[in-house]
Structure 1
Amino acid sequence: MNTEADLFKSFEKDCDLYSIKVEQIPIWERIRFRTFREITRKKGQGQAHTHHGAGINSHLKGLSLWLKYSIYKNPYFADEHDFLFYGHQRRKLEEDGYWWDIYCDPIHEQNEFDYIHVESPHLMSHHNPAKTQYLRYLDPIRYTGTLQRRLGIRTPSIPTDIISRLQEAEEEIKSRFDLDIDLISKVRQSLHVRNTILPLYERLLDRINPDVVVVVVSYGKETFIEACKRLGIPVVELQHGVIYDHHFGYNYPNDENKSTFPDYILTFGEFWSKNVSFPIPGNRVKAVGYPYLEQRLKMYDDIGRSKQLLFISQGTIGDKLSQFAVKVHEDDRIDHKVVYKLHPGEYERWQKEYPWLVESDIRVIDESKPPLYQLFTDSTAQIGVGSTAVYEGLCFDLDTFVFETENTDILQPLIDKNIATSIKTIQDLNAALHSKNTKKFNREIFFKSNATQNIIDELKYIQDYGTTNRSIIQN
């Protein structure tokens, strides 16, 4: 059981945080995910992704991006399109030499939609050459908003009674988690961002006039989604990662709503659709599949394997998992070659944060080559904690082991269904490697087949419904 998550749920309920509004804007839903992430980080969980700094160099880089993309790939210069895709900025370099948005590009290449694709910068840059054909960058919006906030334009005012309630909530966090979390600053910053970029998003949507908007990762895009809802444009989210009952970007109490949640969410399979309590009706949660995975399974279908144990890392647990990997690599009882695959969010910092990996002769994958799916086909077993990649690896018939940490609950369903084996020690791993007690993985439940066509069909249906019921969606 994830103690912090359960404490957090009771904390937000006891403090009645969903009822707090500033000028009719529900503020808790905008800071909820980031607040819990800060709590877990301060409690010792690692950092999921690398973030750029906030010094003078960062500001100068932002200025240069603002100037460059005010001319090149400026979204305000785009024509009208039926679909607007707000993709994932962390692209993946594929064997064709292009950087893919792996969630959207398999759909785009079918040429079924009149679309425009927009993205935010990743670590203050954009990956090129991009696979996406009709691509625009959101840097003009992002950095125009930043400039306004630096100049103090549209600064929000928080009523004294709201400040008092937030202070009470801060005291509760201190009491329950023994941490100091500045909720007031989070609210002020979130409202300031909203005030500065909401008009910019509305102007962009007026320009493109889409029938449907598709997003990848909805949390963090609350203001963009608000702009869509104000204009009556249906918003659809494509699943991008693990969804579980302690993921506060998706799981909400049954009696609570999130006004800036997408109107629809398209999941990888029925397992994910039923795994959490989404703040939208169940008939708007559709299992469609994962196009990128389905494509790659066909591509790597007949490649040979070796006796290889693949560690699937991620920043939140990389410290403990990488230390365990080194111990496994050095233990004579384990007759498998060990490969440690870093998450892209760890590429730039692993040598500093995991010095034991640097000192070891273990094979560390810290770039996009070889592709993850190539590593799956080369391996016979995998170890992870809470990554989507572990579920993907099961599609390649890998023996799967879950390294027990405070985040094990993310993969607990696999343990409960006897699909994966939980391990704590090298002795556990050695025994599990020589056992065949796990059940066969039912891919269809987790990753529905015919994914690309399923998504196309759902988007066309939503387009038809949305154009005739825009007033309903707006309300």
Structure 2
Amino acid sequence: MRVFHELTRRSGLHGNPHPVRRTRADQARLVGRHVAGTVTRNPFLARGPFDALVVPHPRKPGGVEIYTDRLRAALGDSALVIDSGINGTPLAGSRNLDFFTSASGAIPSRSVDARCREIADALEGLTGVKVPIGALVARELPKHTRLRALYRSLLRRRRIKTVYVVVAYFHQHIVGAARDLGIRVVELQHGAISPFHLGYSYPGRPVVADQPDELWTFGSYWSEVAELPAGMRTEVVGASFIQPLSEEQLAAKDPRRVVFLSQGTIGPLLLEYAVAVAEARPELEVIFHLHPSERSGDYPAPPSVRVSSEDILDLLASATYQVGVATTALFEGMVLGCRTGVADLPGHEYLDPAIGRGDAVLVPSPEALVTGLATLPRSSDPTAYYAPLALPL
């Protein structure tokens, strides 16, 4: 995944999907929290016993972590919650090993395997882009090994029976530690899955190291859309944070409201679609909604386009049309009754299966969107994306 992000960024195809911006003062405060956390948030010192370990998502709109909230409520005091404060605000009562997470990557390996150079050269030959494979491996491999040993010790000491994790491909040290000890690992879906997602799609279903035993998905669509690693099974558990609108709510949607769903990878190009619609159809309310990792200053939009960071679900519930590329919010908008267009920009392939189902349309240009806005489709069965909630604990 890190190689992919480097490749697309260095090629100019994508921007940074989740930019982290810190001043020197921010960094100093972060170090201070890390040091203090070795005592105040250390999971080795938490009062147990615990049956489960829960690793939630760092993003918490309105202070709520929507992917594990019902799970944590169901598990209660039997769950040890590990929630990093490195790129977000940790949940109240949670623990973390942030000091060790940061320190484990501070000393990279000094040796670069010849195979790394061979892979980097081969990748450059295929793409014309030079990616520092050796530097990535020198930093990430020792970090993984150190953290894996640390979490193995934690899981053993706390006698954890099940690990629940969000975004498992960025927590492979935790997954690997659990697999070393024969502990069940469950991943909770956090976003869009497609045949092109490097975290989930393994054509032919080969055996892949350090993968969860189970993937709990929002709906049946996600359980079928990609070939998961061998041995990983899926369970549809629904979603607590979204449900279809009633007939009255659908009728109350604003027929003038068009929402464009930005992402850091393609935001500037998507803005061109929004501006084209706003200029050609001044009677419409055109809103350019920012991804949580973006800021309004990133986009010098004209007055005819309103740049917004308001609650995305409330916004989509009020809108008639939505346009995006590969964001999970497009599927949320389908559940909330939006007519859906997919801009023909890098990454639109993520929506190919949904387009094939007739729930969205690929829009080849801003001009085509202007003329075809009224014909954008509405999903006929959004429960395939987000089913009613059911947790198989």
Does the pair score TM above 0.5?
Answer: yes
Does structure 1 conserve the Cα–Cα contact (< 8 Å) formed by 2:245 and 2:337? Answer: no
Identify which of 266, 283, 306 aligns with 1:317.
266
Alignment of 1:88-103 (within 5 A): 88-93=57-62, 99-103=63-67
Where structure 2 has 5 or more consecutive residues not aligned to the other structure, the ranges are: none
Counterpart of 1:360 in structure 2 is 303
Aligned to 1:126: 89
Q: 2:78 aligns with which of 100, 103, 114?
A: 114
Aligned twin of 1:448 = 387
For residue 11 of structure 2, what is the aligned residue in structure 1? 43
- The one of 71, 91, 97 equivalent to 2:39 is 71
Aligned partner of 1:338 among 267, 275, 286: 286
Deviation at 1:230, TM superposition (A): 1.4
Counterpart among 414, 424, 428 of residue 364 in structure 2: 424
Note if contact 1:376-1:398 (Cα within 8 Å) is conserved in structure 2: yes
Name the amino acid aligned to 2:60: R
Q: CA 1:267 to 1:384, structure 2 compared with 1: closer, same or farther past 3 Å?
A: same
Tell me which of the two structures has the higher relative contact order, counting C-alpha pairs closer than 8 angstroms and 6 or more residues apart. 1
Structure 1 residue aligned with 2:327:
387
- How many residues align? The count is 389
**Aligned residues of 1:82 and 1:113 also touching (Cα < 8 A):** no
**8 Å contact kept, 2:54–2:163:** yes
Letter in 2 for 1:287: V
Alpha-carbon distance between aligned partners in 1 of 2:386 and 2:39, rounded to the nearest angstrom: 41
> For residue 347 of structure 2, what is the aligned residue in structure 1?
407
Is the partner of 1:330 in helix, strand or coil?
A: helix
Displacement after TM superposition at 1:303 (Å): 8.7
Q: Distance in 2 between the 1:308 and 1:194 partners?
A: 46
Unaligned ranges ≥5, structure 1? 1-32, 94-98, 461-475
Q: 1:410 to 1:157 in 2, by over 3 A?
A: same
1:303/1:377 contact within 8 Å kept: no
What does residue 137 of structure 1 align with? Answer: 96
* Cα distance between partner residues in 1 of 2:286 and 2:120: 45
Task: Report SS of the residue matched to 2:228.
Answer: coil
Match of 1:167 among 107, 112, 117: 117
Matched, 1:82 2:51: yes
1:195 to 145, 162, 182: 145
CA contact (8 A) 2:257 2:287 kept: yes
Q: CA deviation at 1:430?
A: 3.1
**TM-score, normalised on structure 1?**
0.76
Contact 1:339 1:364 in 2 (8 A): yes
**Deviation digits for residues 208-253 of structure 1 (CA, Å, limit 9, x no counterpart):** 2221000000112111111111121111000100111111111123
Secondary structure of 2:169's counterpart equals coil
The separation in 2 between residues aligned to 1:251 and 1:156, in whole angstroms, is 32
Report sequence identity in percent: 27
The alignment partner of 2:307 has SS state of: strand
How far the C-alpha of 1:442 sits from its partner, in A, is 0.8
Q: Contact conserved, 2:339 with 2:379, CA < 8 A, in 1? A: no
Asked if 1:285 corresponds to 2:234, the answer is yes
1:290-310 CA-to-partner distances (Å, cap 9, x unmatched) read 22223x868x95793212001
In the TM superposition, residue 56 of structure 1 has moved relative to its aligned partner by: 6.0
CA contact (8 A) 1:304 1:377 kept: no
Q: Distance in 2 between matches of 1:170 and 1:164?
A: 10
In 1: Cα distance, 2:111 partner to 2:165 partner: 30
In structure 2, the CA distance between the partners of 1:86 and 1:303, relative to structure 1 (3 Å rule), is farther
Say if 1:34 and 1:281 are closer, same or farther in 2 by CA, change over 3 A: same
Shift of 1:157: 5.7
Corresponding residue number in structure 2 for 1:14: none
- Residue type at the aligned position of 1:89: P
Counterpart residue type for residue 363 of structure 1: R
* Aligned partner of residue 447 in structure 1, secondary structure: coil
TM-score after normalising by structure 2: 0.91
User: Root-mean-square deviation (CA), in Å?
Assistant: 2.5
- 1:169-221 Cα shifts (integer Å, max 9, x gaps): 11111111101112122112122102332232122213322210000001121
Instruction: Return the alpha-carbon distance in structure 2 between the equivalents of residues 113 and 384 of structure 1.
Output: 40
Three-state SS of the structure 1 residue aligned to 2:194 is: coil
- In structure 2, C-alpha distance between the alignment counterparts of 1:140 and 1:164, rounded to whole Å: 32
Tell me which amino acid in the other structure corresponds to 2:44: Y
1:289-308 matched pairs, under 5 angstroms: 289-294=238-243, 304-306=252-254, 307-308=256-257
SS of the aligned residue for 1:237 comes to strand
Letter in 1 for 2:293: G
Conservation of the 8 A alpha-carbon contact between 2:205 and 2:228:
no
> Structure 1 pair 198/57, CA: closer, same or farther in 2 (3 Å)?
farther
Q: What per-residue deviation string (whole Å, max 9, x for no partner) do you get for residues 324-356 of structure 1?
A: 212221223x64211111010113xx41x322x
Distance 1:145 1:362, change over 3 A: same
